Amino acid sequence: MPMVRLDSRKMATICAVLILTLAPVGVLVHNYNNLPSGYVAPYVVLNMWALTLLVTIVAAILLAFPRTRFAGFVFAAAIVLVPFSFFAGSNIPWQPV
């Protein structure tokens, strides 16, 4: 089976979606890692889930129209990328009890 070639417009779409989703995640990880020790309610995690919900809504809207379906698939992949990159970048498993 031949390898799929992406044109420059599709590559630009992939890069733009990655930047638009990973830049806020980087800010959220920085804010989470700088919380004071013993802080009980990290609202940064709630913000990460709100960002994931926003990306989900955008993906659903873009998937509904045939001309924007590729961008919808890229946003759908970013739905998984947002929480994974947040939890990978934050030091949640290594917090002292």
**CB 38 within 8 Å of CB 48:** no
Q: Centre a 10 Å sphere on the Cβ of residue 62 and count the other Cβ atoms it contains.
A: 18
Q: How confident is the model at residue 34 (pLDDT cuts 50, 70, 90)?
A: confident
Q: How confident is the model at residue 35 (pLDDT cuts 50, 70, 90)?
A: confident
Comparing 4 with 73, the larger pLDDT belongs to: 73
Q: What is the pLDDT of residue 58?
A: 93
Q: Where are the domains of the chain?
A: 13-29+42-89
pLDDT in tens, 49-62: 999 999 999 999 99
Q: How confident is the model at residue 92 (pLDDT cuts 50, 70, 90)?
A: low
Q: What is the pLDDT of residue 93?
A: 57
Q: What is the DSSP string of the chain?
A: -PPPPPPHHHHHHHHHHHHHHHHHHHHHHHHHHTSPTT-S--HHHHHHHHHHHHHHHHHHHHHHSGGGHHHHHHHHHHHHHHHHHHHHHS--TT---
Q: pTM for the full model?
A: 0.80
